[in-house]
Structure 1
Amino acid sequence: MAQSAPPPLDPSHPPVIEGFTPSAFQHRDEGIRGKFNRKIRENPLVPIGCLGTAGALTYGLICFKRGNTRQSQIMMRARILAQGFTIAALMVGVVVTAIKSQK
């Protein structure tokens, strides 16, 4: 017996996945800027952490170039703290989103 080919994928009818329910609110009509703004509103601590990380890294590299190794080391440690803050903010955002979706 010959095996039949699977049916072609139809984007208008997504596949049914057991245990997965797509959200009722779809963001299909928003652009990149709209999605970026929505993500910032949902979890504002992540961009703050990213800016802190970038700032500490930039200032640390400037201090390193100028020969101020002590300040450069302090800023690299500050960068690690800012990265930790960003990861913690991401995790809190994931937990809050999971709790919201259960309600």
Structure 2
Amino acid sequence: MAAPGPATPGTPFDPPQPPVIEGFSPSVYASTESFKEKFLRKTRENPVVPIGCLGTAAALSYGLFCFHRGHSQRSQLMMRTRIAAQGFTVAAILVGLFTSALKSRA
């Protein structure tokens, strides 16, 4: 039995380069964007997500501060608030995904 030949004749696979798929463009945007530009674009697309993230971080920080000070009731309240803020953030992400999916269909 003969050894099988290469699956795709031609140039071998080059790991640093993205694969070439006919009809698929890996980037929607013509130029590469920096972290700051991407962050600002994503914030403009869905401004509620960063608000939820900041609320989550604030509740966590204040809850840990209260825990360190020995205020257990306030610490428990802030941990519950953190859970609510996380839920709000996840819901905002899902709504943003849903609206972007509807936008791309139209």
TM range (shorter): 0.7 to 0.9
% identical equivalent positions: 49
Distance in 2 separating the partners of 1:60 and 1:13: 47
In structure 1, the residue matched to 2:93 is 90
In structure 2, the residue matched to 1:4 is 6
Distance in 1 separating the partners of 2:94 and 2:76: 27
Deviations 1:48-103 (A, max 9, x none): 00000000000000001101000000000000000000000000000001000001
In structure 1, the residue matched to 2:46 is 43
Going from structure 1 to structure 2, the CA distance change for 1:9 and 1:34 (only over 3 Å counts) comes to: farther
Instruction: In structure 1, list runs of 5 or more residues that go unmatched.
Output: none
1:73 to 69, 76, 89: 76
Query: Cα RMSD between the aligned structures?
Result: 2.4
Q: Secondary structure at 1:3's aligned position in 2? A: coil
Instruction: In structure 2, list runs of 5 or more residues that go unmatched.
Output: none
In structure 2, the residue matched to 1:16 is 22
**For residue 5 of structure 2, what is the amino acid of its counterpart?**
Q
Q: Which of these two proteins has the greater Rg computed from alpha carbons?
A: 2
**For residue 4 of structure 1, what is the amino acid of its counterpart?**
P
Distance in 2 separating the partners of 1:66 and 1:49: 26
TM value normalised by structure 1: 0.82
